[in-house]
Amino acid sequence: MRIQFIFVLLCLFQGFPLIGQDAYIYPGSSWDYHQESIDAGYNDDKLIKALPYLRDSMNTTGLVIVVGGKILGDFGDIEELSYLASCRKSILAMLYGKYVEDGTINLDLNLKQLGINDIDGLLPTELNATVDQLITARSGVYHPASNAGDNLADAPERGSQIPGTYYLYNNWDFNAAGGAFEQLTGKNIYDALEQDLAIPIGMEDFDRLAQHKSGNTKRSRYQAYHIWLSTRDMARIGYLMLRHGRWKDTQIIPKNWAKKIVSVVTPSEDMNPTRIKNGEFGYGYMWWVWDGPEAVGPFEGAYSARGAYGQYITVLPKLDMVIAHKTKAEYRRRTGWPEYKKLMDIIISAKN
């Protein structure tokens, strides 16, 4: 595996870029690296502390840190395609944007109107759930999903929650949201990913043939649409969001939608199950959004895509920063959120 760790920086003033939208830097066919650090406002000695932490305390297989449109530092194999788990959900939220704006997708349509049902049937109350409630994890549908990795074990009794009133991270919602997207747009999710995101933002490593769905169709007819991306292309996804859906001179995702999906729909005090209430996150449209007392300083306005094994795309607008992190599933190890959060803290604390 290629191992590289470079920390060089763009000079910013208090973490805010002093440029207008049209002057933002975007990567071309490949990312550029910052060449100078001494005048950038970060302390090299403090940044270098991240290297032994990465090697000794984490299971990182790929890391890219972007500041101001150029790579500040990277580590591991950032070119390798590998499986992304729940980060897929945040990417689907992005794909929804242009189709909501042009009216192809009506978020107020409910499951009954769409003809969406599942094995052994949905309850009459569940059929009232809307597309909007699917993509905010507030549907009240607690049908088993085709894949594991959610909080279904903590779900209330089926039919007990009116759609829109109760948050629960349930893969059935997300997989059905993929089904609704394909039904309403007439496009396969992966074709839309290629045509609407990968090509327009110049992903370096995207391979349409690597993408495929999975899941137990005896449990649910809606499969999980996992995605295979490289770490440096994960960083492009985050950078597109940092720029509110704009890439160079093109608005790839409607600006209002790019802001909407990373705004809090479920505040931290309303998260379920109880063990995650009043934590650092609320929930938006398939994005985890910093909320409450910790949403200050560098984490004000911050948000993250999060997936199993150690896959994260974190956007820190106050620092003009994107962090893409991967522990690939095939590695059979994990990087948990606490370890990743400590890495972020090390990086952030290096800013003078």
Assess whether pLDDT exceeds 80 at residue 126.
yes
> Tens digit of pLDDT for each residue in 221-243?
999 999 999 999 999 999 999 99
Residue 253 main-chain phi, psi, to 5 deg: -115, 135
Query: What single letter denotes the amino acid at residue 270?
Result: D
Q: 17 or 158: which carries more pLDDT confidence?
A: 158
7 band by pLDDT with thresholds 50, 70 and 90: very low
Instruction: Write out pLDDT tens, residues 64-91.
Output: 999 999 998 899 999 999 999 999 999 9
Residue 181 lies in a domain: no
> What pLDDT sits at residue 46?
81
Going from the C-alpha of 173 to that of each of 107, 116, 146, 200, 328, the distances in angstroms are 14, 12, 11, 28, 25
Residue at 32 is within a domain: yes
- DSSP 8-state assignment for residue 147: S
> Is 282 part of any domain?
yes
Q: Binning pLDDT at 50, 70 and 90, where does residue 350 land?
A: confident
Instruction: Determine, yes or no, domain membership for 26.
Output: yes
Q: Is the pLDDT of residue 323 over 80?
A: yes
Q: pLDDT averaged over the chain?
A: 92
Provide the terminal-to-terminal Cα distance of the chain, rounded to the nearest Å.
33
In a domain, 331, yes or no: yes
User: What are the tens digits of pLDDT across the range 26-47?
Assistant: 999 999 998 765 545 667 788 8
Examine the pLDDT at 9 and tell me if it is beyond 90: no
The whole-number pLDDT of residue 3 equals 37
Which amino acid makes up residue 147? N
**pLDDT-derived band of residue 8, with 50, 70 and 90 as boundaries?**
very low
Question: If pLDDT is split at 50, 70 and 90, which confidence band does 292 have?
Answer: confident
With a cut of 50, say whether residue 13 has pLDDT above it: no
Identify the band that residue 23 occupies on the pLDDT scale cut at 50, 70 and 90: confident
The boundaries of the domain holding residue 243 are: 21-81+231-349
pTM: 0.93
* Domain contains 343: yes
pLDDT for 36 equals 62
What per-residue confidence (pLDDT) applies to 49? 84
Residue 94 and residue 92: Cα distance in Å, rounded?
A: 5
pLDDT at 17 > cutoff 90: no
Instruction: Find the angle CA(111)-CA(153)-CA(170) to the nearest 5 degrees.
Output: 35
pLDDT for residue 21: 56
Residue 351 has φ and ψ, to the nearest 5°, of -80, 125
Residues forming a β-bridge with 130: 110
Q: Who's near 41: CB < 8 A, 6+ residues apart?
A: 9, 11, 12, 13, 351, 352
- Cα separation, 62 vs 85, in Å, equals 15
Given this model, what pLDDT does residue 332 score? 79
In the DSSP assignment, the letter for residue 132 is H
Query: Has residue 66 been placed in a domain?
Result: yes
How much of the chain, in percent, has pLDDT values that exceed 90? 82
CA dist 90 and 102 (Å) reads: 20
Structural domain count of the chain: 1
Given a cut of 70, whether residue 4 has pLDDT beyond it is no
Does some domain include residue 88? Answer: no
